[in-house]
Amino acid sequence: MAPVFRGQRRAPPCASTAAWFAPSPDPVTLYDRNSQGKLLGPVTGPNTPQAPDVGGKNPHVPLDVPSVLKTIQRPRRALVTSGMPYANGPLHLGHLAGAHLPADIYSRWMGMLIGRENVLFVNGTDDHGSTSEVSAAAAGIPIRQFIDGIHAQQQVTLARYAIGLDVYTGTSQPETFPIQKQLCDFFLTRLHANGMLEKRASRQWYDPQLSRFLPDRLVRGTCPNPKCNYDNAYSDECDRCGHQHEPTALINPKSVLSNATPEMRDTVHWFLDMWKVSETLRTWIEGKARKKAWRPSVIADTLEKVLPSLRFDGEHEESYKALKATLPAHKSKYAPGKKVVLQFGDKAALDAGRAALAAAGIPSTIADEWAHRSITRDIAWGVPVPPIDPELAGKTLYVWPDSLIAPIAFSQVALAKKGLAPETYAQYWRDPEARVTQFLGQDNVFFYVLMQGAMWLGTQDDPQRLPLPGELQLTDIVSAFHLMVSGEKMSKSRGNFYSGDQLLDEKGYTADQVRYYLALLGLSEKPSDFDFGKLDERNRFLAGPLNAAFERPISAAHSKFEGRVPDGVLVDGVLKDTVRMVQRYVKSMDRADYPNMLFEVENYARIINSLFAQYKPHDDRHPEEARRNALFSAFYVLKNLMIMLYPFVPATMDRLRESLRLPPTVFSVDELGVPISPGHAIGPKGDYFPVPAGMERSDPA
């Protein structure tokens, strides 16, 4: 429905809009407690889309909100999921900030965009593998009992933070495991048929005291990174510095189960051959880069690996320089071990370059180590591999491919829970007109882009091309850097974390206060420290200027206009600023890029306080027509604010919706820019953002 603005009258301009200045990026200084509601910063900044061309000189610039909404690409359906937490402890703020909350915000945005009935938001615990096994052993209880207890605890935490999942299950849960086993069999069978599973003998840790092989997470020792030397690093990765290493590089290894010194023994495993589809992966990633569809860090991390490379000994560097200009276009860099690496644009250029080097007497090897990963394990607690090869009998699927497949199983469980046929999962995962978006930590990008992409391609009849309709579609990735505490990554294994429940139970915050602050942290660009001082400062803003923006129109309607929205027109500048704000909002929400946009939403809210400061709709000593127009405009802005903030603080915005006596269906992008009808009855004020201790509640009138 297009907005209808009554009459042809024009209200006097809002004087304070002429004095707007560029906002500070520092959230602490975005408002002044002594401003008495006056606008202190603009809705727009230097990076804001061009203002509407009210003179009609540029026909490509939207003049109203419906014109903006027509530019949005709306998928047929949307599937949203996030990185799965291990079933080994409570959910900490790092999980919420980097995965669950951004995914929830995005799923609510998708619901506003295409209807919640067309969105699936699924997640669950990553149950299998050594992490849960070790934790259950440490707790002294059976692994099933341990996982069920952790799962129930995490489910309660997610509900307390209003993470609106359609299902929260787990890879070993009884409603999920049969589906997961069937899917894992399908993937491994197809990958094997396409020649993408290579059987290799490898050396693996073995505990001589317990007579069993040990996966990487069951061996700890000193990190081999000379800049770290953390003495409790995993066998394959250091949880402190993020260093990934060969298991044999670990210093002073010990078995987590027995404290014995493990030894290396031969075992046979399947390795996923991603090199066979690396050109298809490269084409896919480069396409995302051209469209700027992914964050630069995701593109950089993955493209660096899939661009075909070779290496040679540094002793041949002078010979290489002599023929460098004759080689296909490439980049060169130094690598550890006195090596030189050449990176080419595609495999054809790599082959030509390698042949030219060989002809010049420069031997080289292909740098494809990233592309060969073991995907089976010698561990009982996992998904058994299908009986394709007798040498693999008794093996289980590695937890990473297990967890990459899991959201498809979770989708089927969610659909069954809704009373729909589980087979309709294909409408989300196999339709190019649908959108699958996965939220995860930056350190997991390799698995969700390259390993998952290779596995998806490997199920096709022809893995050397991008998917066709009806095949598993490659997914979109949204990454986040780590949430830090005192400069260190928040991690359960280090114990330097706050659980989500702690902030609610011990610190006394509300879920929406925490949600809003976490959304502002900017983890999409860099790691950020969790700072209680900044959280408290932000909560003072919510309880002060933002609450005032909610409460003032409601109070004025009841005190001066019989509890109804007055008949009026928009004050000059309000429509133009709304069009700008909606342009910025829809673009940022579609990219899941929240912090800067939220600061602009806060400035948009200040229009309400400015209208009250300028026209005094609560004071009948001022001209009535200007007061009516100002309050009509204030309710127009308030409704837009409520819709835009709903994905971030849903409980608070639902209370505001009840005060405005609007139906739940108002949380739709198509309601943006649609004014509340004159004469609409307004309900009483509610309790919105709580007032922090030590802060006085001000009278909104």
Longest dimension (CA), the chain: 93
Position 40, amino acid: L
Q: Phi and psi for 64 in degrees, rounded to 5?
A: -145, 170
Q: Phi and psi for 46 in degrees, rounded to 5?
A: -65, -20
What does DSSP say about strands 119-125 and 167-170: parallel, antiparallel, or unpaired?
Answer: parallel
What torsion do the CA atoms of 367, 371, 376, 381 make, to the nearest 10 degrees?
Answer: 110
* CA separation for the pair 354, 328 (Å, rounded): 10
Burial class (CB in 10 A: 0-12, 13-18, 19+), 304: exposed
Position 645, amino acid: L
Does 160 share its domain with 119? Answer: yes
* CA separation for the pair 597, 583 (Å, rounded): 10
* CB distance 326 to 359 below 8 Å: no
- pLDDT of 55 strictly over 60: no
Positive or negative: CA dihedral 417, 418, 424, 428: negative
* Inside any domain, residue 523: no
Domain boundary among 220, 244, 273: 273
Q: What does the pLDDT read at residue 16?
A: 33
* Inside any domain, residue 402: yes
Domain boundary among 481, 511, 541: 511
pLDDT digits (tens, 9 = 90+) for 458-470: 999 999 999 999 9
Q: What does the pLDDT read at residue 178?
A: 97
Q: Domain with 454 in it: what CATH number? A: 3.40.50.620
pLDDT digits (tens, 9 = 90+) for 593-619: 999 999 999 999 999 999 999 999 999
* Inside any domain, residue 347: no
Beta-carbon-side half-sphere exposure of residue 121 (alpha carbons within 13 Å)? 23
Q: 447, 466, 448: which is closest to 457 by C-alpha?
A: 466
Using CA atoms, how far residue 179 sits from 170, 383, 471, in Å, is 11, 11, 18
Does 581 share its domain with 641? Answer: yes
Q: What band does 321 get if pLDDT is binned at 50, 70 and 90?
A: very high
Domain span holding position 30 = 15-61+533-671
Does 576 share its domain with 611? Answer: yes
Q: What band does 692 get if pLDDT is binned at 50, 70 and 90?
A: confident
- pLDDT of 43 strictly over 70: no
**What is the overall mean pLDDT for the chain?**
89
* CB distance 183 to 408 below 8 Å: yes
Question: How much of the chain exceeds pLDDT 90, in percent?
Answer: 79
Read off the pLDDT of each residue in 48-72 and give the average, rounded to a whole number. Answer: 66
Question: How much of the chain exceeds pLDDT 70, in percent?
Answer: 89
* CB distance 97 to 480 below 8 Å: yes
* CB distance 481 to 522 below 8 Å: no
Read off the pLDDT of each residue in 27-53 and give the average, rounded to a whole number. Answer: 33
pLDDT digits (tens, 9 = 90+) for 129-173: 888 888 888 899 999 999 999 999 999 999 999 999 999 999 999
Does 637 share its domain with 545? Answer: yes
Q: 193, 166, 195: which is closest to 274 by C-alpha?
A: 195
* CB distance 75 to 111 below 8 Å: no
* Inside any domain, residue 88: yes
* CA separation for the pair 400, 183 (Å, rounded): 14
- pLDDT of 570 strictly over 70: yes
* CA separation for the pair 173, 177 (Å, rounded): 6
* Inside any domain, residue 308: no
> Any idea what the Cα angle at residue 81 is, between residues 153 and 152, rounded to 5°?
10
* CA separation for the pair 233, 151 (Å, rounded): 26
Q: What band does 637 get if pLDDT is binned at 50, 70 and 90?
A: very high
Domain boundary among 242, 273, 304: 273
The pair of three-digit structure tokens given for residue 79, joined into one six-digit string: 């599937």
Q: What band does 24 get if pLDDT is binned at 50, 70 and 90?
A: very low
* CA separation for the pair 614, 330 (Å, rounded): 62
* CB distance 241 to 338 below 8 Å: no
> Any idea what the Cα angle at residue 290 is, between residues 284 and 294, rounded to 5°?
70
3-state secondary structure of 473: coil
- pLDDT of 194 strictly over 60: yes
Does 505 share its domain with 430? Answer: yes
* Inside any domain, residue 124: yes
Structural domain count, the chain: 3
Q: What does the pLDDT read at residue 491?
A: 66
Does 623 share its domain with 663? Answer: yes
Q: What does the pLDDT read at residue 135?
A: 86
* CA separation for the pair 688, 542 (Å, rounded): 9
Cα distance between the two ends of the chain:
32
Q: What does the pLDDT read at residue 493?
A: 60
Does 183 share its domain with 211? Answer: no
H helices within 55-142, ranges in order?
Answer: 65-69, 93-95, 101-114, 130-139
Read off the pLDDT of each residue in 425-447 and give the average, rounded to a whole number. Answer: 96
Q: What band does 3 get if pLDDT is binned at 50, 70 and 90?
A: very low
* CA separation for the pair 40, 32 (Å, rounded): 8
Q: Domain with 548 in it: what CATH number? A: 1.10.730.10
Other C-beta atoms lying within 10 Å of the C-beta of residue 248: 11
Does 586 share its domain with 476? Answer: no
The pair of three-digit structure tokens given for residue 342, joined into one six-digit string: 């050449």
The pair of three-digit structure tokens given for residue 306, joined into one six-digit string: 């899939």
Q: 130, 137, 152, 147: which is closest to 88 by C-alpha?
A: 147
- Long-range (24+ apart) CB contacts under 8 A made by 118-121 are 118/76, 118/77, 118/78, 119/77, 119/78, 119/79, 119/80, 120/77, 120/78, 120/79, 120/80, 120/166, 120/411, 120/414, 120/415, 120/428, 121/80, 121/81, 121/164, 121/165, 121/166
Q: What does the pLDDT read at residue 380?
A: 87
* CA separation for the pair 685, 552 (Å, rounded): 9
Does 607 share its domain with 548? Answer: yes
* CA separation for the pair 256, 267 (Å, rounded): 20
Does 163 share its domain with 255? Answer: no
pLDDT digits (tens, 9 = 90+) for 494-515: 666 789 999 999 999 999 999 9
Q: How many residues does the chain have?
A: 701
- pLDDT of 20 strictly over 50: no
Read off the pLDDT of each residue in 259-277 and give the average, rounded to a whole number. Answer: 96
H helices within 115-231, ranges in order?
Answer: 130-139, 143-160, 177-193
The pair of three-digit structure tokens given for residue 41, joined into one six-digit string: 């910063």
3-state secondary structure of 407: helix
Give percent helix, percent strand, percent coil of the chain, each to the nearest 5.
45, 15, 40
Q: What band does 47 get if pLDDT is binned at 50, 70 and 90?
A: very low
- Predicted TM-score of the model (pTM): 0.87
H helices within 443-546, ranges in order?
Answer: 445, 452-457, 500-505, 511-519, 532-541
* CA separation for the pair 53, 586 (Å, rounded): 19
Q: What does the pLDDT read at residue 35?
A: 28
* Inside any domain, residue 127: yes
Does 458 share its domain with 503? Answer: yes
H helices within 267-398, ranges in order?
Answer: 278-291, 296-306, 317-323, 347-359
* Inside any domain, residue 279: no
Looking up tokens 């058994």 gives 384
Does 218 share its domain with 100? Answer: no
H helices within 360-431, ranges in order?
Answer: 399-417, 426-429
- pLDDT of 364 strictly over 60: yes
Q: Domain with 219 in it: what CATH number? A: 2.170.220.10
* CA separation for the pair 219, 255 (Å, rounded): 5
Q: Which residue has the higher pLDDT, 16 or 573?
A: 573
Read off the pLDDT of each residue in 272-294 and give the average, rounded to a whole number. Answer: 97
Q: What does the pLDDT read at residue 694?
A: 65
The pair of three-digit structure tokens given for residue 512, joined into one six-digit string: 């929406």
